């Protein structure tokens, strides 16, 4: 099987559309070669990762600027992953001025390429929402998993440069998860455990711990698997968002199916291999993810992946009238924060002493060394908090994290 | 002896082989300023990939690793060529950004650290120069 390119794709590769289009097509042709794709297919939506200056450094910044100088323009709707700073409010969050300057340079270069600079890992909550069956090219492992599994759009797990290449050319090589026969489940996961506090449908930590169990099990099996998960009574957007982030982090999963919940679950026969998750297994995992006691926590973060407006409304309701004394960040998309502003949630939350950090998150912000221990409801944040920022982790449910913040303040008041 | 593989990114290079039987994660695993392998307990830990023909089975880790390869090039700490058994997207894209010759589908057991190699990634050829040929004239 050899790769056939259309005339315009050949022209791009030959440099007739400028440097950026040539580099982009070189990247996509190499991927096509590695995965034996025989053609490119059009995509209608792109999500680019590799945005924070903390990850890109000067070389990455220079590359993005070279692409912008080289005439790169997004041909399709393209949005960005979180940046290293809250673009409007970085000073209050203690970011170094030089870092902020470099970060803004990166965003300016993306904007010159007509990329929409909503910096979020939840593009599907910020105006970049593909429909069922649509071919897209997304980076950001949690969003890839959400788009494939929950929405039923089709994307491979792109990296930052290959996603940008698809934005500039409007195409991606046809292989992997773009092909229906590669979306078949090959392992059943039978879950007999269930969350015990799902009244608000915000059992995010429970779903995160479940994602870690399944992800690690798949990683141990070494081969790439697409699990079909059975036995869950339901899952909210927030719970699925947390689950996607976790199973992608711990198992490299780009697609799963959930019976009764995700749209492609009924399309395929159930595979014979079964992995069982017994009652109590998820709480046991969550317990194992708590490395430290709550009193040792010096930094609290909610918003990995970025919080939805429903989560922010709930947090505002819980924090109203309380004051929080520890460093506590809410990380979310700028657009979600704007809804929160409009509803008065931002004011309530900030009055309690909690800070908003829009556009950024605790994985890509330059906070290593500033804090030492992290409290979070996110299984993904546990992994990167430890691996990238050397934090010791206190993992617990959304409610427990909020209780910790509130009780803490009450204790000090009564002391 | 001339060995053949599949060209991933063209170009030519020559130099000493640095062979790893373990996969390499560039993001977090290799210092972008110096080229020194940082990953704990990696068989190349503490060694520099700079200027070497770097040979390993396949890449792993974060996709940001492509930019790490680009940073290595900007800092002149890059391998002069990369040879893989199976090249995955992180390494392939990194080589394209940094314009580092890259070949895959090689038989890794044919190579040993310290061998002197000529790499012609335009045609996917690797020549092993016999150590005898390299002895300085007395």
Among A33, A60, A158, whose Cβ lies nearest the Cβ of B70?
Answer: A60
CA A357 – CA A88 distance, rounded (Å): 9
Residue contacts between A and B (CB atoms, under 8 Å): 76
- Kindly identify which residue of chain A lies nearest to residue B63, measuring between CA atoms: A159
Q: Which of A141-155, A208-222, A342-356, B94-108 has the lowest mean pLDDT?
A: A208-222
Give tens-digit pLDDT for B18-50: 999 998 989 888 999 999 999 888 999 999 999
Which residues have a Cβ under 8 Å from the Cβ of A38 and sit 6 or more positions away? Answer: A1, A2, A3, A4, A32, A174
- Kindly identify which residue of chain A lies nearest to residue B71, measuring between CA atoms: A59
CA B69 – CA A52 distance, rounded (Å): 17
Q: Which residues in chain A have Cβ-Cβ distances shorter than 8 Å to B92?
A: 27, 30-31, 34
Q: Is the pLDDT of residue A343 over 90?
A: yes
Q: Which residues in chain A have Cβ-Cβ distances shorter than 8 Å to B88?
A: 34
Inter-chain residue contact A50 with B71, CB threshold 8 Å = no
- Kindly identify which residue of chain A lies nearest to residue B74, measuring between CA atoms: A59
SS (H, E, C) chain A: CCCCCCHHHHHHHCCCCCHHHHHHHHHHHHHHHHCCCCCEEECCEEEECCCCHHHHHHHHHHHHHHHHHCCCCCCCEEEECCECCCCCCCCCCCCCHHHHHHHHHHHHHHHHCCCEEEECCCHHHCCCCCCCCCECEECCHHHHHHHHHHHCCECCCCCHHHHHHHHHHCEEECCHHHCHHHCCCCEEEEECCCCCCCCCCCCHHHHHHHHHHHHHHHHHCCCCCCEEEECCCCCCHHHHHHHHHHHHHHHCCCCCEECCCCCCCCCCCCCCCEEEECCCHHHHHHHHCCCCCHHHCCEEEEEEEEECHHHHHHHHHHHCCCCCCCEEEEEECHHHHHHHHHHCHHHHHHHCCCEEEECECCCCCCCECCECEEEECCHHHHHHHHHCCCCEEEECCHHHHHHHHHHHHHHHHHC
Report chain A's mean pLDDT, rounded to a whole number: 94
Task: Please give the residue that has the higher pLDDT: either A226 or A2.
Answer: A226
A231 CA to chain B: closest CA distance, Å?
32
| Alpha carbon of residue B14 to chain centroid | 11
Residue B130: band (very low, low, confident or very high) from pLDDT cuts 50, 70, 90: confident
Q: Which residues in chain B have Cβ-Cβ distances shorter than 8 Å to A139?
A: 63
Inter-chain residue contact B89 with A34, CB threshold 8 Å = yes
Using a pLDDT cut of 90, give the percent of chain A over it.
Answer: 87
Residue B25: its pLDDT value, please? 87
Instruction: Using the CB atoms, write b or e for A66-97: b if 16+ within 10 Å.
Output: ebbebebbbbbbbbbbbbbbbbebbeebebee
Which residues have a Cβ under 8 Å from the Cβ of A10 and sit 6 or more positions away? Answer: none
Task: Please give the residue that has the higher pLDDT: either A251 or A350.
Answer: A350
Using the Cβ of A36 and the Cβ atoms of chain B, whether some distance falls under 8 Å is answered with: no
Q: Which of B20, B62, B66, B80 is flagged as catalytic?
A: B62
Give tens-digit pLDDT for A281-340: 999 999 999 999 999 999 999 999 999 999 999 999 999 999 999 999 999 999 999 999
- Pairing mode, strands A171-173 and A40-42: antiparallel
CA A51 – CA B41 distance, rounded (Å): 30
B135 CA to chain A: closest CA distance, Å?
38
Q: Is the pLDDT of residue A222 over 70?
A: no
Using the Cβ of A390 and the Cβ atoms of chain B, whether some distance falls under 8 Å is answered with: no
Using the Cβ of B9 and the Cβ atoms of chain A, whether some distance falls under 8 Å is answered with: yes
Residue B133: band (very low, low, confident or very high) from pLDDT cuts 50, 70, 90: low
Average pLDDT of B56-75?
89
On whether ipTM exceeds 0.90, the answer is no
Inter-chain residue contact B70 with A55, CB threshold 8 Å = no
Spell out the domains of chain A, with CATH numbers in brackets: 7-179 (3.30.499.10), 184-287 (no CATH), 290-414 (3.30.499.10)
Average pLDDT of A374-396?
93
Using the Cβ of B87 and the Cβ atoms of chain A, whether some distance falls under 8 Å is answered with: yes
Inter-chain residue contact B93 with A57, CB threshold 8 Å = no
Q: Which residues in chain A have Cβ-Cβ distances shorter than 8 Å to B8?
A: 30, 33-34
Residue A410: its pLDDT value, please? 59
Inter-chain residue contact A50 with B67, CB threshold 8 Å = yes
Residue A118: its pLDDT value, please? 95
Residue A220: its pLDDT value, please? 83
Sign of CA dihedral A275, A250, A157, A152: positive
Q: Do residues A267 and A254 touch, judged by C-beta distance below 8 A?
A: no
Inter-chain residue contact B89 with A139, CB threshold 8 Å = no
Q: Which residues in chain A have Cβ-Cβ distances shorter than 8 Å to B67?
A: 50, 55-57, 59-60, 63, 160-161
Using the Cβ of A81 and the Cβ atoms of chain B, whether some distance falls under 8 Å is answered with: no
Give tens-digit pLDDT for A31-56: 999 899 999 999 999 999 999 999 88
Q: Is the pLDDT of residue A119 over 90?
A: yes
Q: Is the pLDDT of residue A3 over 80?
A: yes
Three-state DSSP class for residue B60? coil
Using a pLDDT cut of 90, give the percent of chain B over it.
Answer: 77
Q: What is the DSSP letter of B24?
A: B
Residue A77: its pLDDT value, please? 98
Inter-chain residue contact B9 with A30, CB threshold 8 Å = yes
Residue B39: its pLDDT value, please? 85
- Kindly identify which residue of chain A lies nearest to residue B86, measuring between CA atoms: A34
- B7 forms beta bridges with B103
Using the Cβ of A388 and the Cβ atoms of chain B, whether some distance falls under 8 Å is answered with: yes
Residue A221: band (very low, low, confident or very high) from pLDDT cuts 50, 70, 90: confident
Using a pLDDT cut of 70, give the percent of chain A over it.
Answer: 97
Q: Do residues B71 and A59 touch, judged by C-beta distance below 8 A?
A: yes
Q: Is the pLDDT of residue A61 over 90?
A: yes
Q: Which residues in chain A have Cβ-Cβ distances shorter than 8 Å to B90?
A: 159
Using the Cβ of B31 and the Cβ atoms of chain A, whether some distance falls under 8 Å is answered with: no
Among B27, B75, B96, whose Cβ lies nearest the Cβ of A30?
Answer: B96
- Kindly identify which residue of chain A lies nearest to residue B87, measuring between CA atoms: A34
Average pLDDT of B84-104?
94
Residue A58: band (very low, low, confident or very high) from pLDDT cuts 50, 70, 90: confident
Inter-chain residue contact B70 with A59, CB threshold 8 Å = yes
Inter-chain residue contact A161 with B97, CB threshold 8 Å = yes
Residue A105: band (very low, low, confident or very high) from pLDDT cuts 50, 70, 90: very high
Residue A174: band (very low, low, confident or very high) from pLDDT cuts 50, 70, 90: very high
Q: Is the pLDDT of residue A219 over 90?
A: no
Residue A199: its pLDDT value, please? 59
Residue A284: its pLDDT value, please? 96
What are the C-alpha distances in Å from B109 to residues B20, B61, B106, B125, B130?
10, 24, 9, 16, 16
- Kindly identify which residue of chain A lies nearest to residue B60, measuring between CA atoms: A252
| Dihedral, CA of residue A25, residue A28, residue A29 and residue A30, to nearest 10 | 120
Q: Which residues in chain A have Cβ-Cβ distances shorter than 8 Å to B97?
A: 23, 27, 63, 161
Catalytic, B80? Answer: no
Inter-chain residue contact A56 with B67, CB threshold 8 Å = yes
- Kindly identify which residue of chain B lies nearest to residue A56, measuring between CA atoms: B67
Residue A23: its pLDDT value, please? 96
Q: Which residues in chain A have Cβ-Cβ distances shorter than 8 Å to B74?
A: 58-59, 62
């Amino acid at each position: 099987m050899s790769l056939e390119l259309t005339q315009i794709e050949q022209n791009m590769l030959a440099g007739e559309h400028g440097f950026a289009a040539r580099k982009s097509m070189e990247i996509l042709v190499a991927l096509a070669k590695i995965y034996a794709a025989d053609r490119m297919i059009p995509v209608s939506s792109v999500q680019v990762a590799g945005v924070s200056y903390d990850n890109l450094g000067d070389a990455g910044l220079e590359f993005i600027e070279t692409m912008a100088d080289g005439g790169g323009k997004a041909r399709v709707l393209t949005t960005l992953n979180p940046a290293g700073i809250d673009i409007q409010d970085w000073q209050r969050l203690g970011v170094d001025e030089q870092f902020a300057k470099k970060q803004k340079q990166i965003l300016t270069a993306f904007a010159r390429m007509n990329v929409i600079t909503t910096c979020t890992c939840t593009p599907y909550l910020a105006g970049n929402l593909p429909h069922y069956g649509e071919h897209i090219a997304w980076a950001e492992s949690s969003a890839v998993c959400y788009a494939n599994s929950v929405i039923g759009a089709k994307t491979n797990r792109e990296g930052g440069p290959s996603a940008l290449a698809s934005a500039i050319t409007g195409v991606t090589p046809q292989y992997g998860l773009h092909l229906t026969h590669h979306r078949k489940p090959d392992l059943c996961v039978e879950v007999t455990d269930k969350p015990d506090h799902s009244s608000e449908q915000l059992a995010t930590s429970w779903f995160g711990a479940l994602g870690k169990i399944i992800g690690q099990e798949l990683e141990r099996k070494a081969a790439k698997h697409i699990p079909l998960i059975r036995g869950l009574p339901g899952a909210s957007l927030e719970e699925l968002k947390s689950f996607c982030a976790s199973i992608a982090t711990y198992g490299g999963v780009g697609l799963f199916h959930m019976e009764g919940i995700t749209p492609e679950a009924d399309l395929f026969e159930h595979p014979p291999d079964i992995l069982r998750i017994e009652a109590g297994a998820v709480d046991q995992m969550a317990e194992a993810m708590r490395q430290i006691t709550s009193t040792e926590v010096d930094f609290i973060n909610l918003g990995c992946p970025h919080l939805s407006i429903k989560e922010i409304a709930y947090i505002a309701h819980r924090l109203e009238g309380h004051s929080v004394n520890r460093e506590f960040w809410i990380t979310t998309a700028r657009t979600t924060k704007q809804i929160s502003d409009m509803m008065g949630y931002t004011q309530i939350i900030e009055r309690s002493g909690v800070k908003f950090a829009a556009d950024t998150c605790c994985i890509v912000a330059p906070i290593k060394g500033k804090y030492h221990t992290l409290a979070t409801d996110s299984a993904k944040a546990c992994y990167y908090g430890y691996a990238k920022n050397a934090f010791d982790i206190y993992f617990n449910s959304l409610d427990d994290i909020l209780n910790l913040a509130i009780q803490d303040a009450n204790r000090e008041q009564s002391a | 002896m001339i060995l053949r593989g599949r060209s991933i990114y063209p170009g030519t290079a020559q130099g000493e082989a640095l062979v790893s039987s373990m996969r390499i994660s560039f993001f977090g695993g290799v210092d972008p300023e110096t080229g020194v392998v940082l990953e704990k307990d990696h068989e190349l830990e503490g060694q520099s990939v700079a200027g070497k023909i770097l040979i390993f089975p396949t890449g792993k880790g974060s996709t940001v690793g492509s930019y790490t390869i680009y940073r290595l090039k900007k800092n002149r700490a890059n391998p002069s060529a990369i040879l893989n058994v199976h090249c995955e997207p992180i390494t392939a894209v990194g080589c394209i950004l940094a314009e580092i010759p890259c070949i895959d589908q090689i038989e890794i057991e044919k190579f040993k650290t310290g061998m002197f190699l000529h790499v012609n990634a335009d045609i996917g050829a690797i020549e092993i120069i016999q150590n005898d040929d390299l002895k300085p004239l007395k």
